[in-house]
Amino acid sequence: MKTTRNTTAKSAILELIKNSEVALSHAEIQKMNQELCDRVTIYRILDRLVNEDVIHKIATPDGTIKYAACNHNPHEHHQHIHNHVHFSCEKCHSVTCLDAVKPSYTIPENYLVKEVNFTLSGLCPACVESISK
């Protein structure tokens, strides 16, 4: 019975993340799925989805971890990296993936980069619009 519930919860959480326009924190996911599973199960499911390379973690400037769906072809068998830019809104605290923005950097010789995490912060379009009115 536990496996079925866990699979149902995993599917529900994955769909929630895939259908969200912004990255979601554990607390936001828990609030949206209160009846489905407990907070520890949500952590386990999120870890599993990250390990399966279906979602990725984003650390916000305030230290909150949020989760977003990966945008890659599931039929490709090579590992992809999440080297796109994330935008964190200082007003509404939403975090979005900016896949069209390509980050660039230069590093000294003899360094091996394994992961890149670019997070820009400021105001999202909705918050800019709300202060313009």
- The one-digit pLDDT tens for each residue of the chain (133 residues) are 444 556 889 999 999 999 999 999 999 999 998 778 889 999 999 999 999 989 999 988 888 999 999 875 554 555 555 667 889 999 999 999 887 887 788 899 999 887 777 888 999 999 999 888 7
Q: Where are the domains of the chain?
A: 2-132
The topology (CATH level 3) of 2-132 is Arc Repressor Mutant, subunit A (1.10.10)
Any idea which residue has 């149902």 for tokens?
8
Structure tokens at 107: 């590093």
Q: Which of 81, 129, 94, 87 is nearest to 20 (CA)?
A: 94
- The burial class, CB within 10 Å (0-12 / 13-18 / 19+), for 16 is middle
CA-derived radius of gyration, the chain? 17
